Amino acid sequence: MNRFSFLSLVLPFAALFSCQNSEPKKPLSSENTADPLFKKVSPESTGIDFINKIDETLNLNVLMYEYLYNGGGVAVGDLNQDGLDDLYFSANVSGAKLYLNQGNLKFKEITEQANILGTSGPWNTGVVFVDINGDGLLDIYQCKSGALPHEKRKNLLFINKGTDENGVPRFEEMAADYGIDSSAPSTSASFFDFDRDGDLDLFLLNHNTRSIQNQDVALTKKLLKEKHEAGAQLFENKNGKFIEITSKAGISSSSFSYGLGVSTSDINMDGWPDIYIGNDYAMPDYLYINQKNGTFLDEINIRLGQTSHFSMGNDIADINNDGLPDIFTLDMLPEDNYRQKLLLSPDNYEIFQLNLEKGWHHQYMRNMLHVNDGSGNFMEVAQLAGVSSTDWSWSSLFADFDNDGWKDLFVSNGYLRDYNNQDFLMYMENYVQTSGGKLKREDLLSLVKSMPASDLSNYIFKNNSSLQFENKTQEWGLSQPFNSNGAVYADLDNDGDLDLIINNINAPATIFQNQSVVQNTNNYIKIKLIGEKGNSSGIGTKLQVYTGDLVQYLEQNPYRGFQSSVSPILHLGLGSHDFIDSLLITWPDGNKKILRATPANQTLTIALSDGEIYEENQIEEASLLNSFLSINLPDCTPTNDFKRQPLLLHPISNQQQAWTIGDFDGNGKQDLFIGGGAQSSGFILPNFSEPKPSELIKLPFENEKSAEDSYSVSFDANGDGKLDLLIAGGGLHQFQKGAQEWKPRLYINRGNSRFKLEQTAFSDFSFPVSKVLVYDFNADGAKDILLGIRVLPDQYPLSPGAQIWINDGTGKFSEQTSKFAPELINLGMITDGLFQDLDQSGQAELILVGEAMPISIFKQNNGVYENVTKSYFETPIVGLWNHIEAADWDQDGKPELIVGNLGKNTRLKASQEEPLELLYKDFDENGFMDAVFGYYIQGKKYPLLSRGELLNQIPFLKKRYLDFKSYALAEFDELFLLSEKEGATSIQINELETSYLKINSLGKFEKKPLPQEVQFTPSFTSHAIDINNDGNLDLILGGNMNFGRISSGKYDAGRGLVLLGDGSGKFKALSTTESGIAIQGDIRGIFSTDKLLLVLEKFKALHFYKR
């Protein structure tokens, strides 16, 4: 949620400033069908006439209280035990309503009859159902908030006293009696048994009603230690009385509390429930891991690489059926270009860095899907999964809506006023300045009324397995625009599928009847748990359901989404299976029971005593590799290349770290050189097969530690029989044009691990190098050098290409590219290359790859290398290539290629039909190249960057795009006039996937499939090896890019991926627990010996694994 920071000067009485948006958006996804999955049932039919009505007045508007539109919630459950789920709706400023389910989707409003009093507001927020006293009846807990006196915002607890003669449940308000009449401004509540003593404790999610302006690091750390009334609260149930133990339990309760979402789940699968908290604004989310001793420890920086910036609702569920909980958090990034460009402000690296210094996490404004990697840590893949951008979102709910055995995703969406609209913010700033900063309440209301209003459709995604979600919003009948907040699912009509119930602002609450059971033949099962007395719904119970090859995992927790609680009846789709093979139940106390051969299409009631006792086999399969040593490496502070050339797609500096292997001391054992970053020297690790960190050799490399060692090779440069060492310099914007740090450094081996820098080996070279190849180009017996050049300083994407330097036999080199390979000149931004005999001619071809360039192949003809790429590709494959590897994985006698690319876990998309375009020219003639990217969104190509980012670099465009709306409507091809494009160059990038290429019968390379996990992150290095000794060649990939554009976020979903080959060219991806590799940093090198595998984590550590 972007903020207008100047408001604190004008409106000292105003509270917060939250998630913001704009104009109505077209429904998304595929074409409508005659019979959508969901049918909206009218209020006249259901009898549910509830409306969360909010009137904007002088004393009540979003500029007076920013959380004005946050709410309300929904709770669902069987309150009168008639087998039908009833509904409770909370309203922000008016009274809540309770509806009794009469069957057949007919409801009766019974609020007053049931004695639900005191909810007239303001300010009602979340509502949950819970059997708090263990009598088997669901009670109601209503949260309250608002910038109000404490006595007006005490939470309410309605105890269910049973039904009257008409079957109407009766309630008595008793929050004070139980000790949970908290007056803290609450968002929602979650009941769970955190100490496993058999009764339910309470976590209360609260939020500050006032804004905290940007604080310095010292003050932030001070405030974090101070308890505040808005801080979260943890209550322990002591014999039916709740006692607050927040600080004692290690839960932060500071003023930096803007909680919008909370989920409790056994996140690390140790049998104890943990807590995930989503915080609004720049305040970090929390992941509290249960320490099993009454305390929690926040481990979010360890287990998650990044989080949503303005976290809202969240949910925890196993979305890929691997038996592990995954975490999904919502934010407010729009899907369409118009709203993105209208609402988003430029990246601010200074504020981002300040937040990191405060101890905040890496936060980016988009939804996050954190997939469990099996080690208790998580990989963020929302962009790959297709669920990263759902606009101003509130409630996220994973459930199997089509009963196919895979959990789908529903997201509620909308905000009544778009006060993140950048044009409105400019208008408001002018309005404030014109008034001299003295605004009356009438002025504020006038500003509110001038804010753009928008209704947005909710989203629903079908889980297509393999971490792919398909937007079915329109096809499934949910494209009608609303401003929706709280939402729940339940089988209201008991027909075997899940209906949706949604709380809307200024519109009737909506009931969507699921028609899955009449549209397909998929089966289901519903499970009602009967736990022990203090936890009658069995909250925290885990289910593992086995049907054929399908395994589903569920955890009983009704408190999901936003301000709401779903039905405690668990629901599973079974697809075509008409019975469950086995059902494993793990109760909260750790007891395990198993039921077998259970028929489908029923509601199964399971009590503690039901089922066979399950004796678990404790034998765990060993990992393929075993880590036994890590040597820490000197860190290297990332260079912010965007300060020098703000239009870069990704940073170029600090992306590589040199390494090479060789027997430098001539003792018959392999040594390892690791290069340094700027201000840190490289070193040699002698005999790395038997590593001894105490024997590192740093001289003479520390004399050149100002350079950034990007690539290194070992070879005999002067023909004396000893391996010499060549180190190339990389980096970019930390150096100036002509920097000597880029000059290749040749260290001549003098024996006994002594090296001397040969000052005259290379003359007149000053470019950042990304690749070095050793090859005898002139066939004179001396090894020559190919230097792949990354880019020209301040001129991205211009590059001299590659240069060939011929060795005179004594270790002196001269540049002779035009003689041996003239087509290498200005080839592109080279990142990697190799020599490989592709046509079985006995003569190796040269293959080069790079950023925004095609895979390029050169063949020697009479001593000159000629470009023969067209002979191997029907059409050029242009990617953001990082590395290349060749091997015969399918055992057909011909080499295949693995070419590392950006991957699919990115906001960028590229294909032959819809390429990513790079248009470059010095448009404003200031001496710096302007690289302007355009990409497709919903079938049209738009500029990638925000208005501020692009117009600040090309100022003459400010006269053309006077406001944000005009820029938001501009397509990419309209940005510049034809006359302005004269002399510009366009590159069409048509591939972002890391690719496996095989030569077909026609001699052409064709793409073959790779496991989805390959595309989680950019791939920067690879290693072909038979890692499991089965006779088939395998593949290990490494990547990640932990520093980049803020709007792109970190690329950190890789762990070091082991792909087992089957000998036919197909691969199986291993999990981290199966492989034994779980590195979260940037991997830039993988190499092996007979007994070891080594992985280089860039500027962090060198990891050793036993094979």
318 and 432 fall within a common domain: yes
Q: What is the distance between the terminal CA atoms of the chain, rounded to a whole angstrom? A: 48
pLDDT on residue 1032: 98
**Residue 784 to residue 816: CA distance in whole angstroms:** 10
Tell which residue, 178, 298, 289, 276, has the closest CA to residue 235: 178
**Residue 495 to residue 486: CA distance in whole angstroms:** 24
Question: Is the pLDDT confidence value at 27 over 80?
Answer: no
Residue 1053 covered by a domain: no
302 and 279 fall within a common domain: yes
Residue 879 covered by a domain: no
Q: Which amino acid is at 849?
A: V
pLDDT bucket at 23, cuts 50 / 70 / 90? very low
448 and 492 fall within a common domain: yes
CA dihedral defined by 862, 868, 872, 874, rounded to 10 degrees? -150
Q: Of 483, 501, 523, which residue is a domain's last?
A: 523
Q: Out of 55-69, 458-472, 504-518, 874-888, pick the least confident.
A: 55-69
Asked if residues 428 and 447 have their Cβ atoms less than 8 Å apart, the reply is yes
Q: How far is CA 568 from the centre of its chain?
A: 29
Asked if residues 760 and 671 have their Cβ atoms less than 8 Å apart, the reply is no
**Residue 1017 to residue 1041: CA distance in whole angstroms:** 8
Residue 963 covered by a domain: yes
Q: Of 613, 641, 667, which residue is a domain's last?
A: 613
Asked if residues 343 and 421 have their Cβ atoms less than 8 Å apart, the reply is yes
Tell which residue, 315, 313, 254, 302, has the closest CA to residue 280: 313
pLDDT bucket at 349, cuts 50 / 70 / 90? confident
Say which residue, 2 or 969, is predicted with more confidence.
969
Distances in Å between the Cα of 869 and the Cα atoms of 802, 876, 914, 1004, 1037 are 16, 8, 22, 10, 25
442 and 532 fall within a common domain: no
N residues, the chain: 1107
**Residue 700 to residue 485: CA distance in whole angstroms:** 64
Give strand ranges (E) for 766-828. Answer: 769-775, 784-789, 802-807, 813-815
pLDDT bucket at 698, cuts 50 / 70 / 90? confident
* CATH number assigned to the domain comprising residue 84: 2.130.10.10
Residue 221 covered by a domain: yes
Q: Of 827, 844, 859, which residue is a domain's last?
A: 827
pLDDT on residue 520: 85
pLDDT on residue 738: 83
* Mean pLDDT in residue range 414-418: 90
**What phi and psi, each to the nearest 5 degrees, are found at residue 1047?**
-70, -20
104 and 117 fall within a common domain: yes
609 and 689 fall within a common domain: no
Query: Both tokens of residue 457?
Result: 């459709």
Question: Is the pLDDT confidence value at 585 over 50?
Answer: yes
434 and 565 fall within a common domain: no
Max intra-chain CA distance, the chain: 104
Query: Both tokens of residue 279?
Result: 């915080």
Per the structure, the complete domain to which residue 530 belongs is given by: 524-613
pLDDT on residue 31: 41
> Which residues, other chains included, contact 242 with Cβ-Cβ below 8 Å and sequence gap of 6+?
178, 179, 180, 201, 202, 235, 236
Give strand ranges (E) for 418-549. Answer: 456-457, 459-463, 469-471, 481-482, 484-490, 499-504, 510-514, 523-530, 542-547
**Residue 76 to residue 87: CA distance in whole angstroms:** 5
Q: Is 778 exposed, middle or buried (0-12, 13-18, 19+ CB in 10 A)?
A: middle
* CATH number assigned to the domain comprising residue 733: 2.130.10.130
Please provide the average confidence, as pLDDT, over all residues in the chain.
93
**Percentage of residues in the chain with pLDDT exceeding 90?**
80
287 and 430 fall within a common domain: yes
Query: Both tokens of residue 668?
Result: 């018959």
What angle do helix axes 441-450 and 422-434 make, rounded to 10 degrees? 150
Q: For the chain, how many structural domains are there in total? A: 4
**What phi and psi, each to the nearest 5 degrees, are found at residue 527?**
-130, 125
**Residue 884 to residue 471: CA distance in whole angstroms:** 34
* Mean pLDDT in residue range 1055-1076: 98
87 and 217 fall within a common domain: yes
568 and 467 fall within a common domain: no
Tell which residue, 497, 470, 428, has the closest CA to residue 9: 428
Residue 1073 covered by a domain: no
Query: Both tokens of residue 703?
Result: 């004399």
499 and 534 fall within a common domain: no
* CATH number assigned to the domain comprising residue 554: 2.60.40
pLDDT on residue 287: 98
Beta bridge partners of 921: 930
Q: How far is CA 1007 from the centre of its chain?
A: 27
pLDDT bucket at 902, cuts 50 / 70 / 90? very high
Tell which residue, 489, 652, 619, 633, has the closest CA to residue 75: 489
pLDDT on residue 18: 36
* Mean pLDDT in residue range 246-263: 94
Phi and psi based region of residue 166 (left: phi greater than 0; alpha: psi -120 to 50; beta: remaining):
alpha
pLDDT on residue 34: 64
169 and 132 fall within a common domain: yes
Residue 493 covered by a domain: yes
pLDDT on residue 1063: 98
Question: Is the pLDDT confidence value at 831 over 60?
Answer: yes
Q: What angle do CA 792, 798, 803 make, to 5 degrees?
A: 70
Q: Out of 416-430, 437-451, 691-705, pick the least confident.
A: 691-705
* Mean pLDDT in residue range 924-945: 97
Predicted TM-score of the model (pTM): 0.95
pLDDT bucket at 409, cuts 50 / 70 / 90? very high
pLDDT on residue 25: 41
Question: Is the pLDDT confidence value at 920 over 70?
Answer: yes
Residue 1028 covered by a domain: no
Residue 1060 covered by a domain: no
Q: Out of 28-42, 62-76, 238-252, 258-272, pick the least confident.
A: 28-42
Question: Is the pLDDT confidence value at 618 over 70?
Answer: no
H-run or E-run covering 188: strand 186-192
Distances in Å between the Cα of 346 and the Cα atoms of 21, 27, 947, 951 are 16, 27, 8, 11
> Which residues, other chains included, contact 256 with Cβ-Cβ below 8 Å and sequence gap of 6+?
208, 212, 220, 223, 224, 279, 283
